[in-house]
Structure 1
Amino acid sequence: MPQATPPMLRMLNVLLLPGARTRKDPDAAFEKLLAEAQRGHRPLGAADVAAVEPLRLLLRAHAANPDLSPFGWTTVQSGIRDRLRNRVVIRDIQARHPEVREQPVPEPVFVVGLPRTGTTFTYNVIARSPGTRGPLLWEMLNLGLPVEDPAERERIAERTTKRLSFMDRLSPDWSQIHPLIATSEEEDFFLRDHSELHSSAATVPEYRRYLAGADLTDDFLLLRDALQVLSFGQEPQRWILKHPANLWRMPEIQRAFPDARFVWTHRAPGKALASGCSMSEALRNMHYKPGTVDLAAIGAEWLAILSEGVDRALSQRDQLEDGTLVDVSYNDLVEEPSKVMRGVFKSLGMTWTDADEANLATARDRPHHKGHRYTLERYGLDEFQVAAAFAGYKIPSVLP
């Protein structure tokens, strides 16, 4: 049964209807977004202007989607504007403070794996260890040099929390699917331009075709630049990053971060696939016109995205040097979390401390999406299709 559209979302779609006319000329809309992002800053150079062209392609793909609502069109423009602004802010700071390019980013760790495979749990335990850190959501959404004043940091975080609370009012399910907490570590996707997960909110086949053959090294170089900005002038800490689609981008990550390490969490892919479909359904209910969300289409799209991504990752892992990648079994993590995480720390050259044991206990007490249920069948899928699509993916046995 289609989800009822919340009254606030219906009202927003009416109010934003006049602005939706700009989708008739997405190139003009993109030029306006680029001009807005550069206002008050140094304009981007020719190399960066060329580098953001795929974002123009993403906007065109959204504009061509007949099911996208006025609110959806407004939201996807906002997301592209944020990414253009990030690049502008980074280049502006690099021009004013050339030494920012020398800020160390030592041996970053990328936690990779499909959704619902223990990535968030693993990420939080590593990122909260003494001497490491993950990018906080409020600082990614307000990219700039470190904010030294604690009171100012708190004000920015509170302002970001109010902005994020809007999502919960538009989708009652969203806080159960992917709660966004301004003061918590979040995915590095907010600091980069590209990911297959742009398909979550709306189908964008032209953009997905671009990504299939794209080399995203520049995207991860931009991430490195952003991390240097966020930590400029501070004692270097080991950055811990996470995003599902990073799983099949390990060569590009290593070109940007030659000393990067990877922690790959594994679980039978059915749960991951159903979870991704559920997230996409919730987002499309916000971004699409009422009654136009196609659940079977979501299932087919996510089956392709995740299975093709895992196939790429399996071929890429053979290219990694020994010791670069650490495997984690979700089942092992559930059964013996302390043993597993101690092993991960040892493989990463990190020392397990009492603080880490406390962080582990906190992570285990975290709410686990209570009330959020999802099945493959809802999206026209079954275990046989999943098994066939992921036939080459064998879950490694890690613990003795």
Structure 2
Amino acid sequence: MERPPANVRPAWWLKPVNGLLAPFEGRFGGEGSFDAALRAASSRSGLPWPPDEPFLSGMKVLHDAWQAAPDLTPLGRFSLQTEIRRRLERRLRMLHLLDARPEIAAQTVDRPVFITGLPRTGTTFAHGLLARHVRGRAPMLWELLNPVPDTGRPGERKVSRRERLAAARTQVRGTHAAGPGFGAIHPMHPLEPEECIFLLPHGLNSHILAHVPDYRAWLERRDATPDYVYLKQQLQALQWGRPARRWVLKSPWHLSNVDVLLSVFPDAVVVLTDRDPARAMASWASMTEAGRRLHCHGADPRQIGREWVDIWAGAAESARRVRAGQGPGRFLDLPYDELTSDPLGAAERVWQSLGEEFDPESRARTLAYTRRDRRESPGGHKYGLGRYGLTAEEVRAAFGPDPTGSAAALAHDGA
């Protein structure tokens, strides 16, 4: 099989370590491992589990799908089991916080800004750019990994800010050590804004790490409203006791759930990025292959290409339908070409469209961000559609001439 590009090759040491761990692989998963994760979440937090259906049932669906993936490495199995435990611990702490402080759930999440669009269309850069406004606030990676403040409940194991920062640093260093080229694909830093997908318990991002088609089918027929209610609760926890600012949030994964997002956040504004889907899908397939190879014995590039074009074309079509039924002002367009050629002007246009003054301090902070070098690897990210069995013509045909619905929306708004 063709050797993968440097960006998607795992570190040399993963193979011998997986070989050493193979005899003990059964300890990382299998029968009883979900109950073990429940116990671990309770033990680490010092908090007991209250009744929590259907959240736990849904989390078990993901757990079982990951554990059933036939090509997981021992390290991959351990990593995914650890991720299940993290999500359970976060949920347990959140339940106790809301019980101890019910006033948190009454807070207003005022006019949040959600940046979404096809992946690899500039959403990360747009997020960092718009987050520099003095009225905006984007969650940092360290906050997303541990968003729930201490509840003060008896027996609770408190987690200091220093511990939360250290945990985020450890996770980032581990990712970069296992996948040396990953920083060129998606730079991550504990003190930088990151995707709010970390606050959603479910999503097709879980399908990157291992091929779980049954989980994908389960997601596609499921109502995502409880996930977005939970997202709102965690944002309320993060803003509790702090000065009020507008949340600036980002994830391509919102694209398939824009209707749910707007029902849970009725005064939200959605900023849609746009780029040639052929370029976006080539970059996305490369990122997916990198994630898959960190957790699995191998990855089929052509299967990745075919499947994800189908997934993202469906998400884009869903967003187009939702947008067509909304009034002016609910969606703003941020094309990739404008974002990269005139980022300061793009930020000013978006914030003024959001009804906020682009004051001198916001301008200076935004300009400073545009001048930073965010690359983690001087070699850059290398990718191409051919490796994934796709052509530019096929991809563009799958998405149509207007993936985000911008042309139709502009015509509607001007009517």
TM-score, normalised with respect to structure 2: 0.88
1:384 aligned onto 2:393: yes
- Deviation of residue 5 (structure 1)? 5.2
1:273 aligned onto 2:264: no
Q: 1:159 to 1:195 in 2, by over 3 A?
A: closer
Matching residue's letter, 1:81: R
Q: 1:144 to 1:368 in 2, by over 3 A?
A: closer
- Deviation of residue 111 (structure 1)? 0.4
Cα deviation, 1:338-386, whole Å, max 9, x if unaligned, reads 3322221112111101222223323322436542111111111111210
1:349 aligned onto 2:355: yes
Q: Distance in 1 between matches of 2:3 and 2:292?
A: 11
Matching residue's letter, 1:198: S
Query: What secondary structure does 2:395 align onto?
Result: helix
Query: What secondary structure does 1:17 align onto?
Result: helix
What's the counterpart of residue 310 of structure 1?
316
Q: 1:362 to 1:94 in 2, by over 3 A?
A: same
**Mapping 1:80-99, distance limit 5 Å:** 80-99=84-103
The answer as to whether partners of 2:187 and 2:374 remain within 8 angstroms in 1 is no
TM-score, normalised with respect to structure 1: 0.91
Matching residue's letter, 2:89: R
Point out where structure 2 has 5 or more consecutive residues left out of the alignment: 152-159, 411-415
- Deviation of residue 215 (structure 1)? 1.3
The answer as to whether partners of 1:248 and 1:316 remain within 8 angstroms in 2 is no
**Mapping 1:20-39, distance limit 5 Å:** 20-21=25-26, 25=30, 28-39=32-43
Q: Distance in 2 between matches of 1:240 and 1:119?
A: 12
What's the counterpart of residue 8 of structure 1?
13
Q: Which moved more, 1:163-172 or 1:329-338?
A: 329-338
Q: Distance in 2 between matches of 1:180 and 1:339?
A: 25
- Deviation of residue 259 (structure 1)? 1.3
Cα deviation, 1:61-107, whole Å, max 9, x if unaligned, reads 22222211111111111122211111111111111222222233111
Query: What secondary structure does 2:267 align onto?
Result: coil
What's the counterpart of residue 175 of structure 1?
183
The answer as to whether partners of 1:37 and 1:84 remain within 8 angstroms in 2 is yes
Match of 1:188 among 192, 196, 202: 196
The answer as to whether partners of 2:29 and 2:78 remain within 8 angstroms in 1 is no
What's the counterpart of residue 200 of structure 1?
208
Point out where structure 1 has 5 or more consecutive residues left out of the alignment: none
Report how many aligned residue pairs link the two structures: 390
Matching residue's letter, 2:204: E
**Mapping 1:28-177, distance limit 5 Å:** 28-39=32-43, 40-45=46-51, 48-145=52-149, 153-154=161-162, 156-177=164-185
Matching residue's letter, 1:34: L
Matching residue's letter, 1:131: R
1:236 aligned onto 2:244: yes
Matching residue's letter, 1:138: W
Q: 1:158 to 1:64 in 2, by over 3 A?
A: closer
Cα deviation, 1:195-233, whole Å, max 9, x if unaligned, reads 112111111100111111221111011111111111211
The answer as to whether partners of 1:281 and 1:295 remain within 8 angstroms in 2 is yes
**Mapping 1:223-302, distance limit 5 Å:** 223-289=231-297, 292-302=298-308
> In percent, how many aligned pairs have the same letter?
33
Matching residue's letter, 1:197: N
- Deviation of residue 253 (structure 1)? 1.0
Q: Which runs of 4+ in 1 moved over 4 A?
A: none
Q: Distance in 2 between matches of 1:343 and 1:24?
A: 50
Matching residue's letter, 1:343: R
The answer as to whether partners of 1:103 and 1:233 remain within 8 angstroms in 2 is no
Cα deviation, 1:99-135, whole Å, max 9, x if unaligned, reads 2222331111100111222212221122221122111
